[in-house]
């Protein structure tokens, strides 16, 4: 299915209730927000002349990865 095409309602598993779909949307928004925060930390580190990734950015990446695994389990 092309990226810009939405799945038909029949493509969702039976357990994907409206509440589950809302949680999936919330998780997607959190992933995007965490990506922005991590990128801001990287930019600040580069601007400060740091040569290594900040610990806070690495932690945010781990959180994002956990959220993405959760999304995958929810069919996202």
Per residue in 38-69, pLDDT (tens digit) is 999 999 999 999 999 999 999 999 999 999 99
pTM of the full predicted structure? 0.76
Contact status, residue 71 vs residue 21, Cβ threshold 8 Å: no
Which token pair is 31? 């992933």
Task: Provide the pLDDT for residue 10.
Answer: 59
Q: How far apart are CA 38 and CA 40, in angstroms?
A: 5
pLDDT digits (tens, 9 = 90+) for 3-35: 454 545 557 778 889 999 999 999 999 999 999
Which token pair is 39? 């990128």
Which is higher by pLDDT, 12 or 71? 71
């Amino acid at each position: 299915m092309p990226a810009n095409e939405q799945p038909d309602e029949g493509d969702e598993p039976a357990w994907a209730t409206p509440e589950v779909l809302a949680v999936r949307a919330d998780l997607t928004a959190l992933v995007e927000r965490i990506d922005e925060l991590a990128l801001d930390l990287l930019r600040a580190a580069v601007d400060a002349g740091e040569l290594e990734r900040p610990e806070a950015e690495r932690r945010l990446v781990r959180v994002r990865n956990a959220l993405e695994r959760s999304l995958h389990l929810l069919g996202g």
